[in-house]
Amino acid sequence: MQQKVLVVDDEQSTRRLMKEALGMEPYQLLISDSAEKALEMFKNETIDVVISDEMMPGMPGSEFLALVRQKYPETIRMILTGHASIESAIRAINEGQIYHFFTKPCRIYDLAITIRKALQQKELMRKSRELLHLAQRQSSYIRNIEKKYPGITHVQKDKQGGVLLEDGPEVEDYDQLIGEIKALLQKEKSG
């Protein structure tokens, strides 16, 4: 699924510049001219990164990004402003937990690189969650097998790191054991 980046800015010249500069990037670029319209877009789209202007009629960017943070916490948030002040930067950081703060005019190259890094970070976080889920499932399988066959997962090693084999719990029917393990895996897979 292609990643999506949303730019929210009330200035037509900025929207046009973003569309021209970022239109060829390896993600789908969405454009909105207001925070209200952008919030409607969130209802129908999974947006990976949102970049918002701070000074917009209706709703400032920091307030918009705070709402995005509450409703769509997985979306990476950035702010773009021509009126940088310490107060607006602190508000955006505290309320919207922004990833990056840009001042206008910003270098488009820097913006493009920052967006790519944010998308890479998001993808790494997604893969990390998948690996954690897989590790938790495998740990559950091992615990279930260990309950049924105590000691089966215990491995002793000698001083050189070689595995020491000892008589473990008696398993009369290995085909039955393998069948039970497959059943556990199938049950976990379907559940």
Residue at 143 is within a domain:
yes
In this structure, the answer to whether residues 144 and 113 fall within a common structural domain is no
**pLDDT score, position 95:** 64
Residue at 132 is within a domain:
no
Residue at 120 is within a domain:
yes
In this structure, the answer to whether residues 116 and 146 fall within a common structural domain is no
Q: Which residue has the higher pLDDT, 166 or 154?
A: 154
In this structure, the answer to whether residues 107 and 180 fall within a common structural domain is no
Q: Which of 94, 127, 160 marks a domain boundary?
A: 127
In this structure, the answer to whether residues 79 and 155 fall within a common structural domain is no
**pLDDT score, position 146:** 82
In this structure, the answer to whether residues 10 and 63 fall within a common structural domain is yes
In this structure, the answer to whether residues 176 and 120 fall within a common structural domain is no
Q: Which residue has the higher pLDDT, 40 or 155?
A: 40
**pLDDT score, position 170:** 61
Q: Residue 89's pLDDT band (boundaries 50, 70, 90)?
A: low
Tens-place pLDDT, residues 98-131: 777 777 777 888 889 999 999 998 899 889 989 9
SS3 assignment for the chain:
CCCEEEEECCCHHHHHHHHHHHCCCCCEEEEECCHHHHHHHHHHCCCCEEEEECCCCCCCHHHHHHHHHHHCCCCEEEEEECCCCHHHHHHHHHHHCCCEEEECCCCHHHHHHHHHHHHHHHHHHHHHHHHHHHHHHHHHHHHHHHHHCCCCCCCEECCCCCEECCCCCCCCCHHHHHHHHHHHHHHHHHC
Residue ranges making up the domain that contains 119: 4-127
For residue 49, pLDDT beyond 80? yes
Q: Residue 167's pLDDT band (boundaries 50, 70, 90)?
A: low
Residue 74: CATH number of its domain: 3.40.50.2300
Q: How many domains does the chain have?
A: 2
What is the mean pLDDT of the segment spanning 25-33? 91
In this structure, the answer to whether residues 71 and 145 fall within a common structural domain is no
In this structure, the answer to whether residues 95 and 170 fall within a common structural domain is no
In this structure, the answer to whether residues 24 and 87 fall within a common structural domain is yes
In this structure, the answer to whether residues 34 and 99 fall within a common structural domain is yes
Q: Quote the mean pLDDT of the chain.
A: 83
In this structure, the answer to whether residues 157 and 117 fall within a common structural domain is no
In this structure, the answer to whether residues 14 and 105 fall within a common structural domain is yes
Q: Which of 99, 127, 155 marks a domain boundary?
A: 127
